[in-house]
């Protein structure tokens, strides 16, 4: 009889921060924040907590181009305007890049309806680093997460903060908790507040009241309340979402408090530990079908100063005795779970690991756009391997608005991204190419302009420059663009097809993964783009092997 089992962390690799999780019968559903990318609020499902797949099925290309996108709560461009999801540089010397858009969601299920609450943080062009983004909190409902048509338009509610959560109490009342923003340059910056809410209208039915200031660290946020054993257990994050991040807890006999801080806080953190898993925090508790408890949380894999994938989703086992605070196992890359004092989940061996598909196609559930896109700007013309991008004057490095861009998350520390470009179809008075994209101020691209000149173009912080340029490829028919990646670096190269034969691979240069790392909110995405005064770029066989 086995006395332990193990699984690999992170359970959702790549840019999947701020997880919230529920179980409905035998199925777990998990949702993550998405910031400036569309579709937004990706939802995965699992039967064993370890093997996850993005919900929904492929749509045919025509349908996917013009309407709903499955696998995400924000699945229609008309639902929420993301064009003000700007990035601001707070302190460039420390790598602080703060991006607006869709922040930490919470998912709940009650009486056959899924409820998702989240925040759209809104910035503006020229926003100073000292000014906070403006929060707009909303509710989205669905009766079937697999059907994109079932997701409602947002219902907004008044709350000057982020990280909203919901508690459906036994008395039939619904309580909303969140992290109220006093101002991120004030002390205290935030506090956990609560109000009664009508989910059908978004109306707050009570005064918004402070319920906990946290255990003493900065920026209490990410609250969730669980009612267990007749006690209200409040779990939050503190310390900011980077090096000082941690999970803390408090309890009360009343939903309104006062909440008693756990004497052994924090219940989980990586602060002060020399280990690749850092920034542990923003947790959510869930029980499995055997009554055993688990915690999903965010963390980043840090190798020196390189951690470009950003914040990912991890899972740890939790022991929660009746009437007592729970204890959390430390986060490990290879998480070993002892079965001496807990039951093996029945579904554990039933799943199969779902990797991101290698082919980046228009109808893939994993395909992303920037901000609120014009979906008709990218087509495939019934050829799934092709991506035909209509050039617009909006550049890849735009502060707001949506460039013509299609990509997918980097989910591995090693691999490569490749795509073929038809040299006979290029934007007018513009350019196109394959890019490694983090945000407005950090992207590196193999760029081909309308004159058929190829260059490695890099934007880093406030600088935009060309590392390698001036290579004419006018004699080629196709060019294969290649980005290889390791823990430490991204290496850019290309191959030309001339006269019906492929030439040898030519190196362009490299950038450090550390230059795409920092105290930021998002992760790296590989994508193709096109900008100019019209025309189009025709890409084929876009693959990310990782």
Active-site residue list: 18, 221
Contact, 395 vs 531, CB < 8 A? Answer: yes
Q: State the Cα–Cα distance between residues 411 and 420, nearest whole angstrom.
A: 22
Which residues are paired to 346 by β-bridges? none
How far is the C-alpha of 101 from the C-alpha of 81, rounded, in Å? 9
Contact 106, 68 (CB under 8 A): no
Taken as a whole, the chain contains a residue count of 546
Coil/strand/helix, residue 64: helix
CA torsion 122→193→241→133, rounded to 10°? Answer: 20
**Cβ proximity of 218 and 239 under 8 Å:** yes
φ/ψ (deg, to 5) at 199: -70, -20
CB-hemisphere CA count at 13 Å for 316?
Answer: 24
Residue 452 has what DSSP assignment? -
CB–CB of 133/122 below 8 Å? Answer: yes
300 closest CA partner among 270, 279, 275: 279
Residue 467, token pair as written in the block: 């590392």
Name the DSSP class of 19: -
Residue 195 CA to residue 190 CA, distance in Å, equals 16
What ranges make up the beta strands (E) of 158-259?
161-168, 174-181, 190-196, 209-212, 221-228, 231-238, 246-252
């Amino acid at each position: 009889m086995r006395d332990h089992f193990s699984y690999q962390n992170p359970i959702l690799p790549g840019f999947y921060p701020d997880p919230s999780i529920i179980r409905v019968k035998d199925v777990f559903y998990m949702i993550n924040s998405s910031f400036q990318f569309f579709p937004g609020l990706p939802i995965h499902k699992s039967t064993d907590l370890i093997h996850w797949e993005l919900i929904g099925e492929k749509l045919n290309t025509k349908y996917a181009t013009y309407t709903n996108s499955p696998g995400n709560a924000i699945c229609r461009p008309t639902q929420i305007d993301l064009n003000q999801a700007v990035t601001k540089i707070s302190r460039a010397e420390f790598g602080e890049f703060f991006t607006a858009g869709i922040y930490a969601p919470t998912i709940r299920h009650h009486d056959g309806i899924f409820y998702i609450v989240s925040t759209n943080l809104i910035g503006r062009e020229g926003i100073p680093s000292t000014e906070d983004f403006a929060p707009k909190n909303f509710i989205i409902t669905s009766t079937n997460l697999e059907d994109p048509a079932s997701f409602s338009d947002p219902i907004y509610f008044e709350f000057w903060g982020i990280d909203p959560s919901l508690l459906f109490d036994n008395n039939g009342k619904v309580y909303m908790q969140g992290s109220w923003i006093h101002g991120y340059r004030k002390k205290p910056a935030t506090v956990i507040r609560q109000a009664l809410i009508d989910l059908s209208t978004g109306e707050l039915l009570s005064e918004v009241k402070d319920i906990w200031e946290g255990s003493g660290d900065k920026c209490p946020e990410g609250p969730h309340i669980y009612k267990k054993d007749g006690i209200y257990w409040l779990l939050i994050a503190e310390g900011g979402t980077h090096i000082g991040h941690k999970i803390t807890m408090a309890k009360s006999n009343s939903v309104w408090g006062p909440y008693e801080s756990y004497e052994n806080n924090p219940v989980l953190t990586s602060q002060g530990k020399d280990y690749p898993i850092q920034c542990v925090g923003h947790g959510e508790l869930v029980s499995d079908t055997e009554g055993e408890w688990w915690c999903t949380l965010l963390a980043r894999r840090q190798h020196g100063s390189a951690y470009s994938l950003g914040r990912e989703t991890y899972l740890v086992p939790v022991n929660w005795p009746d009437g007592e605070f729970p204890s959390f196992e430390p986060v490990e890359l290879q998480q070993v779970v002892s079965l001496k004092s807990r039951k093996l989940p029945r579904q554990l061996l039933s799943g199969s690991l779902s990797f991101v598909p290698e082919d980046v196609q228009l109808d893939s559930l994993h395909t992303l756009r920037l901000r609120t896109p014009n979906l008709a700007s990218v087509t495939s013309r019934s050829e799934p391997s092709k991506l035909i991008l209509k050039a617009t004057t909006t550049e890849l490095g735009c502060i707001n608005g949506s460039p013509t861009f299609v990509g997918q998350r980097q989910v591995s520390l090693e691999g490569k991204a490749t795509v073929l470009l038809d040299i006979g179809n290029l934007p007018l008075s513009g350019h196109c190419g394959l890019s490694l994209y983090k945000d407005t101020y950090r992207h590196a691209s193999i760029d081909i302009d309308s004159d058929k000149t190829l260059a490695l173009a890099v934007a880093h912080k406030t600088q935009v420059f060309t590392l390698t340029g001036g290579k004419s490829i006018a004699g080629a028919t196709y060019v294969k663009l290649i980005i290889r990646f390791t823990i430490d670096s991204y290496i850019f190269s290309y191959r030309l097809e001339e006269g019906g034969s492929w030439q040898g691979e030519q190196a362009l240069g490299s950038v450090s993964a550390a230059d795409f790392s920092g105290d930021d909110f998002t992760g790296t995405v590989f994508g193709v783009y096109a900008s100019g005064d019209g025309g189009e770029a025709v890409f084929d066989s876009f693959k990310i092997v990782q």
